[in-house]
Amino acid sequence: MAVLCKPAIAVPEHVITNEETLELARRLHGDHPQLNLALSLIKHTGVQKRHLIQPIDTVLKHPGLDARSIVYERESKARVPAVVLRALEHAELEPQQIDLIIYVSCSGFMMPSLTAWLINTLGFRTDTRQLPIAQLGCAAGGAAVNRAHDFCTAYPDANVLIVACEFCSLCYQPTDLGIGSLLSNGLFGDGVAAAVVRGKRGTGMSLERNSSYLIPHTEEWISYAVRSTGFHFQLDKRVPGTMEPLSPALRTVAEAHQWNVSKLDFYIIHAGGPRILDDLSRFLDVPSEAFRFSRATLTEYGNIASAVVLDALARLFDEQTAVDGHHGMLAGFGPGITAEMSLGTWTAPGS
């Protein structure tokens, strides 16, 4: 059975704190008619600091989409390989043993995908399959786990590498002054994550079932407007309330597996913001403490998009409280509005 092994994570060296973000908002948008609302929303994100690939003064400049695309390619090539190699080490595999690379990112675009460069650079086989996913946003981390599970179900001896590369700061648009845009400016951070799904053996989350769910007619709630200046993030004010219609989907997939979603041993949930976790705690009748890994990611790194679930999973590994036979759920949420859900049982060494 496919096992999701310990992820590797890296965040950039440039840091901006929540207080610095609030002061920046006051300085840049002092005459904004809804400044106090924006400040309140940013203050209550639960984010203490975020990491950026460039100093904040550089982030605030907009040299154009072409220049940002150059930065995305340069920084991804500089930062991804070390994370990939650590993920392979966690899984006790070599590049030649990987059969599929799934690369997810919603904050930059390359063609060919970075997967081709990784194959040529890190010594993967030339027949390694490639699956870039660019348009699922924050849900893509969960989707990557699910597609890796599907691949290993079809090919039980296969191994899959997942890479999430998110440089959300490259999507900053100085002319976007809506409340949703101002909130996102104080919420999203940059980060790279990678993990291996082994078709056989391994320590981690043994994947047993996956599912997707889309809330009907919500495709405009989280979106990009793609313009000459790049990606303009659009966030509808109804998004924070989406856990009410999504929580039944999480309950349904657990029940289909004859599990009680309220009684699982661990939860790896995308932390888009504190209300998502608060609402899930209430709707699923789960203690707030159960989402401590997701909250820690949000607090220390902000919303790092598709990389959130991998970082939260790495924190579960580091805590070392999961034991053989524990049942858990991994779920990512993003544009659509889409949920990507996985169920699995913890598999310890020698089991």
Write out the catalytic residue numbers.
138
Map residue 242 onto helix, strand or coil: coil
Measured torsion, CA atoms of residues 315, 245, 304, 266, in degrees rounded to the nearest 10: 0
178 contacts 167 by C-beta, under 8 angstroms:
no
Peptide bond into 248 cis (omega under 30): no
**Beta strand pairing call for 230-235 and 266-269:** unpaired
Q: Determine the residue type at 87.
A: A
| Spacing of C-alpha 81 from chain mean position | 18
- Extract the tokens encoding 235: 């966030």
Map residue 289 onto helix, strand or coil: helix
CB-based contacts of 172, cutoff 8 Å, min separation 6: 59, 60, 62, 185
**How many Å apart are CA 185 and CA 21, to the nearest integer?**
8
- Work out the number of other CB atoms within 10 angstroms of the CB of residue 282: 13
Cα separations (Å) of 165 from 55, 217, 264?
18, 28, 29
Nearest to 148 by CA among 188, 191, 99: 99
DSSP string, 41-55: HHHTT---EEEESS-
